[in-house]
Amino acid sequence: MKNHCILKIISPLLIFAIIFACSKEHKSEDVHEFINIAGKIRKGESLFSSLLEKNIAENEAYKITNSIDELFDLRYTHPNDSFAIQIDTLGQVQRLEFFPNKIEKYIVIRDTLNNFITHKKEVELAKEILVITSQIESSLYQSMISKGIGPELVMNFSDIFQWDIDFFIDPREGDTCRLVYEAFSNNGEILKYGDILAASYKGKNFDLTAYYFEDGKNANGYFEKDGTSFQKAFLKSPLNYSYISSYFTGARYHPILKKVCSHYGIDYAAPYGTPIVAPADGKIIFKGWNGGFGHCIKIRHKNGRYKTLYGHLSGYAKGIYVGANIKQKQLIGYVGSTGWSTGPHLDYRIYDNGRAINPLKLKNVSGPPIPKKSEKEFEEIVAKMDKMLKKNISENKNNRKI
């Protein structure tokens, strides 16, 4: 009788357990019955139109793209950006992964209320410190690209020396560039760059080495071995130009006036519309038509000693007006051929206390040096970087890990 009672109690529990297990097993099978669809955005398409092409319902595609747009601006999608969709047996999208690059992905999941929620996930990257050497053959850009260095890193390298080297006219064949830099990779493929920790440029006319240093307070940037800042008051030139069509001279034959006259500036020939930036901090003191200079800008720089002039512009950058405060490297206008001009170029002039001086011979002033309290820490970094820069670097496209 006792056993019979126990059996009466246990039996319903056993039955419930069996039903629950079967239900769970059946549910698990349902969850995994997905249709997987992969796709890429083609030229002229958007993610929305690509989803429609994969027979995703318009209202679903709309909700999915709206959800992603909250974290990633889909206007910046590119051809070959990829996506992967999971659709259940009822034809509903349960999950979508969107890959705008090799580092990020955006995961869209349908919740219990049939809304779509997006979250961002980044690939875990390994940080490496690399060293590479490149010798100038044709141009800095081509020489460094040939070593497997990405365009972004080349531009960052040139930015370090932009106060001392004009990379359009100064480099000579045989000049040597070397840099120590951070790289972030996944499965051996470099996906992004970090800081350039040290860089050197050596040749017939230059022997420069820059060390990156930041103390979390005042010092932040590139410095010479003695602690002098690499950043100067004026950039070497205010634009990327093709060549110098006319130098600073007391006498030259003017092609429009048809007579010999003075030219107290540098004419930088460049394609129409080439951006022009401010070579130093300052304030706009003139903007408008200025006779033979055509559309023109004048800037008075911080200490009041120097003024610069930019002539023959095709137009002005947004936010440029008389009285506007300008930062070094800020866009101010575009190359044109207005006024007395025979072709697109920038007439660039510098005045020292009202006297025109040769921009190519400007005695530049360095920024603040390494603070006294940080000198020891900086010296340790210099010693470490010098050791790396002296390493024997393999002359091939594969970057070497230190």
Point out the domain boundary residue: 122, 137, 154: 122
Whether 207 and 288 map to the same domain: the answer is no
Domain, as residue range, for 348: 243-361
In the chain, % of residues over pLDDT 90: 55
CB 361 within 8 A of CB 249: no
Give residue-wise pLDDT tens across range 267-296.
999 999 999 999 999 999 999 999 999 999
Q: How confident is the model over 212-224, as a mean pLDDT?
A: 84
Q: What is the CATH number of the domain that holds 103?
A: 3.10.450.350
- Does residue 10 fall inside a structural domain? no
Whether 212 and 144 map to the same domain: the answer is yes
Q: How much is the pLDDT for 281? A: 92
Whether 265 and 202 map to the same domain: the answer is no
CB 93 within 8 A of CB 56: yes
Return mean pLDDT, the chain: 85
> CA 357 to CA 306: how far, in whole Å?
10
Q: What is the CATH number of the domain that holds 247?
A: 2.70.70.10
Whether 264 and 344 map to the same domain: the answer is yes
Give residue-wise pLDDT tens across range 363-395.
887 888 898 999 999 999 999 999 999 874 443
Indicate the pTM of the whole model.
Answer: 0.64
Instruction: Say if residue 14 is exposed, middle or buried (CB neighbours under 10 Å; 0-12, 13-18, 19+).
Output: exposed
- Does residue 24 fall inside a structural domain? no
Whether 285 and 213 map to the same domain: the answer is no
Q: How confident is the model over 174-193, as a mean pLDDT?
A: 91
- Does residue 379 fall inside a structural domain? yes
Q: Judge whether residue 208 has pLDDT over 50.
A: yes
CB 300 within 8 A of CB 278: no
Whether 253 and 346 map to the same domain: the answer is yes
Point out the domain boundary residue: 92, 122, 152: 122
- Does residue 22 fall inside a structural domain? no
- Does residue 185 fall inside a structural domain? yes
Q: Judge whether residue 145 has pLDDT over 80.
A: yes
Whether 293 and 351 map to the same domain: the answer is yes
Whether 269 and 186 map to the same domain: the answer is no
- Does residue 3 fall inside a structural domain? no
Point out the domain boundary residue: 122, 155, 175: 122
> CA 353 to CA 300: how far, in whole Å?
11
> CA 312 to CA 339: how far, in whole Å?
6
Whether 252 and 355 map to the same domain: the answer is yes
Comparing CA positions, the residue from 170, 309, 290 lying closest to residue 241 is 170
> CA 28 to CA 267: how far, in whole Å?
74
Helices (H), 32-139: 47-53, 58-69
In the chain, % of residues over pLDDT 70: 85
Number of domains in the chain: 3
Provide the sign of the torsion angle of the four alpha carbons 276, 281, 284, 290, taken in this order: negative
Whether 195 and 263 map to the same domain: the answer is no
Chain CA centroid to CA 9, Å: 72
Question: Could you identify the residue written with the tokens 């139109």?
Answer: 49
- Does residue 20 fall inside a structural domain? no
- Does residue 27 fall inside a structural domain? no
